[in-house]
Amino acid sequence: MKLKGKVAMVTGAGQGIGKATALKFAQEGAAIVVCDLNDDAVQQTVAACEETGVEALGFSLNVTDRAALDQMVAGAVARFGGIDVLVNNAGITRDARLEKMSADEFDSVIDVNLKGVFNVAQSVIHTMVAQGSGVILNASSVVGIYGNFGQTNYAAAKFGVIGFTKTWARELGPKGIRVNAVAPGFIETSMLSSVPDNVLTKMCEQVPLKRLGRPEEIASIYAFLASDDASYVNGAVIEATGGLTL
């Protein structure tokens, strides 16, 4: 088990890639701190992690709430003694073309997908610096590299996350902390649940592998980056798109 003895905090872990990542880390032996806005989903992920034989702790909160984040970190450190890995996965979409996007739609995505990443990282960083070790993994997106029609807010946030990643890798590397990002392509999650079948078919046709990605496939990349197998990987952005951008 690659993560045995580690403590991993995963935001947005109630569903999709976040839940798959929490479960993968648990299977690899890590104790898990589950964070999500939906309390029922938090408890379900905690139970699923505990079924693998590891300890898990759940928190229902919004990553825009700095005070709640600080309380979560304090609770996790009190329970487990430290935090070795942070997966900054929480995110939302509020899509619209530029001329129709409201200020609320723009602000809500920036607040969660960009400021939220900053909030959680800053909440845990003092613990990691004191330990002299740690891994921060940020969720970007293929949209954060190439942009996408109708996603001004989402693209801005995910481009920004890459900027965070490269900056923090420089700042924190000397302190023994690695920072990397993953940029998924089209993945089978609830974010695609409202997409019509004919559009999903066209999306698959754009991918050389001719299918959507699975949350578990992204979780495996996070698990690698969190492990000692990736001990010299720092400041990287790993694209996982099935070849979409070729």
- Let me know: does 211 contact 235? Beta carbons within 8 Å: no
What does the block give as tokens for 28? 């690899």
Rounded Cα–Cα distance for residues 234 and 225 (Å): 9
Beta strands 85-88 and 56-60, pairing class: unpaired
> 238: phi > 0 → left, psi -120 to 50 → alpha, else beta; which?
beta
Active site residue 154: yes
DSSP secondary structure code for residue 64 in this structure: T
What does the block give as tokens for 69? 């984040």
The amino acid that residue 145 corresponds to is I
| Residues marked as catalytic | 154
